C-alpha cells in the first residue's frame, strides 16, 4: 500500500501491511511478571484499544505464514535476476509515483529522490512498550541499519536508545498513543501539514505502519523522515515494518509487481529485506545518479549499473 502527497514540503508516505500471535482462550492465564533481583516489576499502562488489535494482527500474520507468505529466507533460488529485470524493477520503485489512495497506482513518472546528508535513525517508544521490547526492536533496527549502510554506501546510523539527535524519527506507539501523538509529531517535524498529521493520528487498522520522507523547498533531497510502527504487532510483523519503512524512507518509495524476491511488493511474500532489495538500494545511491534526475535522464545509467551489479554477483 503506497501513497504519495505534497505539502509545503515534498512528502512521501508509504503504508505497509504486516501481522502476530495471541493467547488462545483455553490457555492458562499468564503468570505475573517476575522482577530480576534488585529491579522492580515493570508495570505498563493499559491501552484498552490495543487488545482487539493484537488479536487482529496476530490472526493476519498466522494466516499469511500458513499461506507461505512473510518468508524470512532470501528467495535467491526463486528468480533469475537479469540486468533488465533489476533495472526495470528499480525504475518502477524509485521513479514512479502512486496516487489517488492506497490501492490505486497511476504509474506517473517521478524524479529521483534520496538523502544527500547522513541519515540517523532515532527510535522513540510509547509507554506501552516494555523495556525488553525496546531492546529487541533496537537490536533489529541496529542490524538493519548496518546492512542499509553497507549496501548504499551512504552514511546511515542509529542513535543509542534515549538520545534525541536524529533526522529519521521512528515512533513505535499503541493505538491510543498514536491517536494522541499530533503535538509530538509537530515537534519532531516543524512545519508538517495538518493533513500529514491526520494520516498518522487517523490511521486505519488496515495500515500496519507508514513512513513520510520530507524534502524542503521543493528539493529532491530528503532532509528528515518519520516512521510509525504499531506496538500491537507481533514480533515478525513489527520487524517487517521496520525493514520496509526504514528502507522506503531512503527513497525506494513505491511498490512493483515485478519486484521479486523483494519486500517492495504488495503480495507480502517476503517479510524482511532480501539481497535483491539491497541491489535496488545500491543503484539508488550510486554517485552516477543524482537527486532530481528524471526517468529519461537516469534510464541508461540505471541499466549500466544493473549490468555491473548482476555481473558482479554471478
For residue 5, the cross-strand partners are: 11
Q: Are 229 and 171 in contact (CB under 8 A)?
A: yes
Per-residue model confidence (pLDDT) at position 216: 86
Provide CB contacts within 8 A for 231, sequence distance 6+: 50, 125, 126, 128, 129, 133, 172, 173, 174, 177, 238
Per-residue model confidence (pLDDT) at position 170: 98
Burial of 182 (0-12, 13-18, 19+ CB in 10 A): middle
With a cut of 80, say whether residue 178 has pLDDT above it: yes
Q: Where are the alpha helices (DSSP H) in the chain?
A: 50-66, 83-94, 131-152, 175-179, 182-188, 194-201, 235-248, 275-284, 295-313
Give me the phi and psi of 57, to 5 degrees please: -70, -30
Provide CB contacts within 8 A for 16, sequence distance 6+: 1, 208, 209, 210, 240, 241, 244, 245, 248, 263
Locate 217 and state its grid cell: 523547498
With a cut of 50, say whether residue 98 has pLDDT above it: yes
- pLDDT 10s digits, 113-148: 999 999 999 999 999 999 999 999 999 999 999 999
**243-256 as b/e: b if 16+ CB within 10 A:** bbbbbbbbbbbbbb
- pLDDT 10s digits, 273-294: 999 999 999 999 999 999 999 9
pLDDT mean over 60-67: 98
Per-residue model confidence (pLDDT) at position 42: 75
Residue 19 to residues 4, 54, 60, 89, 190, Cα–Cα distance (Å): 23, 9, 5, 26, 32
Task: Report the alpha-carbon distance of residue 4 to residue 20 in Å, rounded.
Answer: 28
With a cut of 80, say whether residue 246 has pLDDT above it: yes
Q: What percent of the chain has pLDDT over 70?
A: 83
Task: Report the alpha-carbon distance of residue 230 to residue 178 in Å, rounded.
Answer: 8
With a cut of 70, say whether residue 34 has pLDDT above it: no
Task: Report the alpha-carbon distance of residue 133 to residue 145 in Å, rounded.
Answer: 18
CB count within 10 Å of CB 213 equals: 26
Strand pairing category for 209-215 and 10-16: antiparallel
DSSP state of 36: P
Per-residue model confidence (pLDDT) at position 107: 61
Give me the phi and psi of 128, to 5 degrees please: -75, -15
**66-95 as b/e: b if 16+ CB within 10 A:** eeeebbeebeeeeeebebebbbbbbbbbbb
Whats the size of the chain, residue-wise? 314
Locate 136 and state its grid cell: 529487541
Supply the mean pLDDT for the chain. Answer: 86
pLDDT tier at 36, thresholds 50, 70, 90:
low
Q: 0.75 exceeded by the pTM?
A: yes
Amino acid at each position: 500500500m503506497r501513497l504519495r502527497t505534497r505539502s509545503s514540503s515534498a512528502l512521501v508516505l508509504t503504508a505497509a501491511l504486516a501481522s502476530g500471535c495471541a493467547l488462545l482462550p483455553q490457555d492458562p492465564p499468564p503468570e505475573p511478571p517476575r522482577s530480576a533481583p534488585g529491579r522492580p516489576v515493570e508495570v505498563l499502562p493499559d491501552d484498552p484499544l490495543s487488545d482487539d488489535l493484537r488479536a487482529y494482527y496476530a490472526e493476519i500474520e498466522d494466516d499469511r505464514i500458513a499461506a507461505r507468505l512473510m518468508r524470512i529466507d532470501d528467495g535467491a533460488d526463486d528468480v533469475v535476476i537479469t540486468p533488465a529485470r533489476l533495472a526495470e524493477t528499480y525504475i518502477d520503485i524509485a521513479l514512479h509515483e502512486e496516487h489517488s489512495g492506497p490501492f490505486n497506482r497511476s504509474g506517473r513518472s517521478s524524479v529521483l529522490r534520496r538523502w544527500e546528508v547522513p541519515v540517523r535513525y532515532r527510535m522513540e517508544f510509547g509507554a506501552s512498550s516494555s523495556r525488553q521490547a525496546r531492546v529487541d526492536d533496537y537490536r533489529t533496527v541496529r542490524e538493519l541499519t548496518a546492512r542499509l549502510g553497507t549496501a548504499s554506501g551512504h552514511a546511515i546510523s542509529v542513535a543509542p536508545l534515549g538520545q534525541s539527535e536524529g533526522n529519521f524519527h521512528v515512533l513505535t506507539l499503541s493505538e491510543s498513543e498514536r491517536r494522541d501523538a499530533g503535538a509530538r509529531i509537530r515537534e519532531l517535524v516543524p512545519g508538517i501539514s495538518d493533513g500529514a498529521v491526520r494520516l498518522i493520528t487517523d490511521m486505519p487498522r488496515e495500515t500496519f505502519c507508514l513512513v513520510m520522507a520530507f524534502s524542503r523547498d521543493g528539493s529532491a533531497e530528503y532532509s528528515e523522515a518519520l516512521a510509525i510502527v504499531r506496538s500491537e504487532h507481533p514480533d515478525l510483523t513489527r520487524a517487517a515494518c521496520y525493514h520496509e519503512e526504514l528502507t522506503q524512507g531512503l527513497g525506494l518509495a513505491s511498490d512493483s509487481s515485478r519486484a521479486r524476491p523483494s519486500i517492495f511488493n504488495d503480495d507480502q511474500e517476503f517479510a524482511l529485506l532480501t539481497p535483491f532489495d539491497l541491489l535496488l538500494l545500491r543503484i539508488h545511491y550510486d554517485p552516477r545518479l543524482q537527486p532530481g534526475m528524471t526517468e529519461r535522464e537516469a534510464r541508461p545509467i540505471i541499466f549500466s549499473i544493473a549490468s555491473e551489479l548482476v555481473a558482479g554477483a554471478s
